[in-house]
Amino acid sequence: MNAEVPLVISGRRDCKGIQRAIDAGLDCVSICRRDFAGVSEFSHAVFDALRSKQVDLVTLAGYLSLLHIPDDFRHRVLNIHPALIPAFCGKGMYGHHVHEAVVERGVKISGCTVHFADNQYDHGPVVLQSSVDIPDGATPQDVADLVFEREKIAYPEAIRRVVSGRLSVDGRRTCLTVSGTATANAPALDD
């Protein structure tokens, strides 16, 4: 992918991702939610840092703090969720919590969703969803492993769709123009 990463922001000072980014020579900063009086002040700090680096697109990955998305970043902040929204999403549904709920509920299909972030957890317009079959007897870790493999394909594809200029948003629906034809909620990425 032809992309530049001008800044990595972490909500924690001690996570593996920030160390990997530093090791890769990327500019990194920690902006921790608990250091601010509220979501608004926290969000201002995050987006001021992004503006200072003239960031075009923000990709959230494992970022657990709620952000208030300012108007100038509307439809420019992507998030990935380890389930097929609207199932198994919302406040408190992240990481192993999602996969435990999937196994407990006994669903046969899970997957991941890449969506535009808005001012609610796991709520914005869906860019791409990709499913995985859940085998009988799967553990939460088995589900996590299956979904993670799918996420590694889906997130870059969703980013490509957004930066292509062929993705439009109408309310909560996205539309990808493919060879002159618009496809609502762009097709899922499956094998």
Annotation marks residue 81 as catalytic: yes
From the candidates 75, 81, 99, 115, give the one annotated as an active-site residue: 81
**End-to-end CA distance of the chain, in Å?**
21
CA distance 167 to 174: 7
Beta strands in 4-142 (DSSP E): 8-10, 28-30, 58-60, 77-81, 109-116, 126-133
Q: Is 77 exposed, middle or buried (0-12, 13-18, 19+ CB in 10 A)?
A: buried
Tokens of 141: 């870790």
Across the chain, how many H-helices and E-strands are there?
Answer: 4, 9
CB 33 within 8 A of CB 65: yes
Catalogue the active-site residues: 81
